[in-house]
Amino acid sequence: MTSQTDLAALLCSRLCHDLLSPVGALNNGLELLADEKDPAMRQRCVDLLEQSARTSASKLKFFRLAYGAAGGFGDRVPAEEPHELLTALTAEDERLNLEWSVAESTLAKPAVKILLNLAAMGLDALVRGGTLEVGAESRDGATEIAIRASGPKVAFDATIGKALAGELADSELSGRTAPAHMIHQLAGEQGGQVQFAHTPEALVLGAMLPDGDGMIG
C-alpha cells in the first residue's frame, strides 16, 4: 500500500511538472528582454512575462486548494474560491469554456479537493479545447459533484481511470496518476465514491458523498 509520504512526494512531482512550463517561460522571457532592443519586441516580451506570471500564480493557488491544507480557510471554503481558480486556469486559452453550476455558498475542504481535482482531469482531457461543466448539488441525503468535459477530441488515460476506481497497483502510481489515487482515498474516507465515463466526445466524472461534516452544505 502506498504510504502517505510516497503519495505526497508524487503530488509534489505533479506540481513541479505543471509549474515547469510557465516558470520556464518566465526565465526565457527575462533572457529575451535583456537582449532585445526593439521597443515593439520588448513590449511583446513583457506581455508574455505577465501571462506566464499569471499562469504560475493561478496554478499555485489551484494546488494550494487541490492538494494542500488550504491554510487561511476554516473547515469550509467559499464556493467562489474554486470558481475563481478554474476561471483563471481557463481564461488564458480561448479554446476553453467554463460553465459553473454550483449553487452552494460554501464547500468543505474535502469536497473542494475532489471538485478541483476532477475538474483538472476534465481540463487535461480537452486536448483540442471544449467546454468544462462543473456542478454540485445536495439531495436525498447525499451530495453529488459532477464534471463534464466535452469537445472535438476528449482524451483520457486509462491508468487515471484505474486510479479513480482504486484498481491501480502501487508500482503503477506516478505523478500523473497520484491526484486520482488521492481522490479515490479521500472519497472513501468520506464514505462516498467516485465514478467516470469516457467517450471520444465527452468525459464525465462524478463523486457521491453522504451529507455530513466534510461535505458540501
The CATH number of residue 116's host domain is 3.30.565.10
CB-CB contact of 65 with 81 (8 Å): yes
Task: Report if residue 155 sits inside a domain.
Answer: yes
- Find all residues with CB under 8 Å of 131, minimum gap 6, and list them: 96, 97, 98, 99, 148, 149, 150, 151
Give the CA distances from residue 27 to residues 23, 24, 32, 61, 168, in Å, rounded to whole numbers and listed in that order.
6, 5, 9, 20, 37
Domain membership flag for residue 217: no
Is residue 216 in a domain? Answer: no
Domain that includes residue 62, residue range: 4-210
On whether residue 215 sits in a domain, the answer given is no
Q: How do residues 101-137 score in pLDDT, each as one tens digit?
A: 998 888 888 889 999 999 999 999 999 999 999 999 8
154 compared with 92, residue with greater pLDDT: 154
Q: Which residues contact 142 (CB under 8 A, 6 or more apart)?
A: 192, 208, 209, 210, 211
Question: Using one digit for the tens of pLDDT, what is the confidence trace for 78-102?
Answer: 999 999 999 999 998 999 999 999 9
If one counts the domains in the chain, the total is 1
Task: Tell me, yes or no, whether 144 lies in a domain.
Answer: yes
Q: For cell 517561460, name the residue.
A: 25
Residues 49, 101 contacting (CB under 8 angstroms) = no
Q: Is residue 77 in some structural domain? A: yes
- What pTM does this model have? 0.86
Q: Is residue 185 part of a domain?
A: yes
